Amino acid sequence: MELWPALSLGWLNGWLLLAGFYMVFGVLLLVYPREVVARLYAFPRLSGRRMAVWMAGRAFNLGCLALIVLTPLKLSQGVFVVGSAAFALGFAVMMVALHDYRTTPLGQPVTKGLYRLSRNPQWLGLAVMFLGTCIAIGSWAAVILLLVMVGFYHLRLLGEEDALLQQYGEAYREYMRRVPRYFVFF
């Protein structure tokens, strides 16, 4: 791992891992019922302060993504194996979470499958995929940008939980008491 990697456009850059995920995700969005996709993208309205936080998080997201796109994978180094394993774990979490989301009846909060272990398994899976990609390119700068981005996304999730409390009331509050926000002890 190095702080700042040598940047170059190439076919074997970090974007390759994320492109595989986004292709699968795109196909799922095409085959999922429209109502499920609409619910997946039904973000709550954000106040001015929360919108500013969200936009700041997006800036770090774009910075991290730019490093991933412009940095070659470290194919001959151990970080590639470790990063690829983390990416695969995040990918699996994301796919299972999307399945749980899809199979939950509309109008009900998603509380089954991985959602029994975490209130946000999709975000968790996505963060682990990005972390794996940052490791696979061997860039501490990308990892740092990702960690800052995750902090901003955490603030975004707090707003989403407020909206879910308003939508589902006491049932969601009870779910929040039973299930950690991220995983097991977080």
The range of the structural domain enclosing residue 157 comes to 15-178
pLDDT tens readout for residues 34-92: 988 888 877 667 677 777 877 888 888 899 999 999 999 999 899 999 999 999 999 99
In contact, 121 and 114? CB cutoff 8 Å: yes
Rounded (5°) CA angle 14-18-24: 150
Domain with residue 118: its CATH number is 1.20.120.1630
Strands of 6-75 (E only): list them: none
Residue 9 sits at φ, ψ, to 5 deg, of: -80, 140
What's the pTM value of the predicted model, to 2 decimals?
A: 0.88
What's the structural domain count of the chain? 1
Domain assignment of residue 9, yes or no: no
pLDDT at 86: 97
Burial class of residue 165 in the structure, from the number of CB atoms within 10 Å of its CB (0-12 exposed, 13-18 middle, 19+ buried): middle
Domain assignment of residue 64, yes or no: yes
